[in-house]
Chains A and B, each alone.
Chain A
Amino acid sequence: MASAAATAVSAPSAGIARRALELIPGLLLLAAVGYAGKFIEQSIAVYTKSHHITFPNIEYVLWAIVIGLLIANTTGVPRIFEAGVATYEFWLKAGIVLLGSRFLLGDVLHLGGISLLLVAFAIALSFTFMHFIGRAFKLKPKLTSLLAIGSSICGVSAIIAAKPAIDADDEDASYAIAAILALGAISLFTFPLIGHSLHLSDKAYGLWAGLAVDNTAEATAAGALYSDAAGKVAVLAKTSRNALIGFVVLGYALYWSSRGQAQAVTNKSAFLWRKFPKFVLGFLLISLLATIGFFTKAQLVSLANLSRWAFLLTFAGVGLRTSLRELGKQGWRPFAVGAIGEVFIALVTLVLVYGADRYLHL
C-alpha cells in the first residue's frame, strides 16, 4: 500500500523532472546562440576600436537572430533541442516584466496612454482595411479575421487566443501565424533602416516599432536593433497593445457567435480575464515597486541586466524558430493580404507617431 502511494507521488514528480531535463539541450542552444551574438558584437567593437576603423555598431540582437536563422534553415534544429528552444516566449515575458523596473509608473501611464490611443485608432483603420483586401483576395472570412487580429493587436498570441473563440480551422490559424511570422522577420531588417533614413528619435521609433510590428518578440527585437532606449519604448508600446487583446477577441467572438458560427460568450468579464496577458500586470507591479523606491540604483541596474539576459535567449529563439521553408509552403494569398495590411498599418502608425511626437510630446 505504502509503496503504491509512493509510486503515485513519485510518478508526477518523475514526469516533471523528465520534462525539465528535456528543456536543457534547447536552453543551452539558446544561450550559446545568444551569447555568440553578444561575443561577435563585442569582438567587432574591440577590433574596430583598436584598429581605428569606423564601423557601424551591429547589435547582438541581429547577430543572434541571423545565427539562429542560419542554423534553422541549413542544418535545421534537431528534435532534442526543440522543447528548450520553444521556451523563448517564456523568457520574453519574464524579460518584459523585469524591464518594468526601468520605467517610472508615470512614464508608463503617459507613454502607455498615448500608445493605447494610437492603437485604438490604428485598430479601427486596420480592421476595416484588412477586411476589404481579404474580400478582394477571396480569403475565407475567418482567415481574414485572424489576419486582422494578428496584424492589429499582438501577432501569434492574439491569433492563438482568437482561434477557439471564433471556431476557426487549424489550417486558417497556421496560415495566419505563418504570414505574421514571415512579415515579422522582414520587419526586423526593414524597420531600423526606415527609422534611420527618417532620422526618427528613439522614442518615436520605439513607439512605431511597438505599434506596427506584430509579434511581441519581433517588436522587442526591432526596437532593440535601433537603440537601447528605442527597445525600451517599443516594449512599452507593444505591452499596451497586448493589453487590448481580450477586448478585440471578445468583439470577434460576439460577431461570429451572432452569425451562429462560434459558441456564444456567456460570461464576458471571465472571458476578458482569461484572454488578458498576465505579464502586463507583472510589468506594472515591478514598475510600481521601482517608482516607490523599493529597489536601490544598483539593484535597478541588476534587474535591467537580468531583463537583457532574458531577451538574449528570446532573440536567439526568434531566429531558431523561423523556418523559411515552412513559411514558403503556406501559399501566397494569406501572405499577400498580410503584407499589404502590414505596409498599410506601418504607414498609418508612422503618421500617427509623427503626429504624437509633435502634438503630444513623447
Chain B
Amino acid sequence: MSESTAAAPRRGLSLDVYAVMLALLLALLVRFNLIPPIKW
C-alpha cells in the first residue's frame, strides 16, 4: 500500500516516463534487429 504515501504522485509521473523510454528502446532494438526475435 505504499502508493498512498505523499511521495507517490511524483514517483508515479516519472514511472510513466521511464516505462515509455524502456518500451521505445526495446521497440528500436527489435526494429533494427539488435536483439533476437522474442518468443512466448
Contact = CB atoms under 8 A, between A and B. Distances in A.
Interface in A63-109: 86, 89-91, 93-95, 97-98, 101
Contact of A279 (B4, B16, B31): B16
A163 B3 CA distance: 11
Interface string A296-329: 0011011101101100000000000001001000
Interface in B9-30: 9, 12-13, 15-20, 22-24, 26-27, 30
Contacts of B20: 93-94, 97, 278-279, 281-282
B29 to A, nearest CB: 9
Q: Is the interface of B mostly helix, strand, loop or mixed?
A: helix
A309 B38 contact: yes
Contact of B4 (A98, A174, A274): A174
A274 B13 contact: yes
A161 B12 CA distance: 9
| Contact residues on B (Cβ < 8 Å of other chain), bracket | 20 to 34
Nearest to A38: B40
Contacts, number: 94
Given A94-B23, A97-B20, A294-B31, A309 B40 contact: yes
A303 B30 contact: yes
Interface residues of A, number: 43
A303 B15 contact: no
Contacts of A170: 4-6
A282 B2 CA distance: 26
Contacts of B30: 295, 299, 302-303, 306
A282 B15 CA distance: 13
A233 interface: no
Given A160-B12, A279-B20, A308-B40, A177 B1 contact: yes
A157 B13 CA distance: 10
Nearest to A286: B27
Nearest to A274: B13
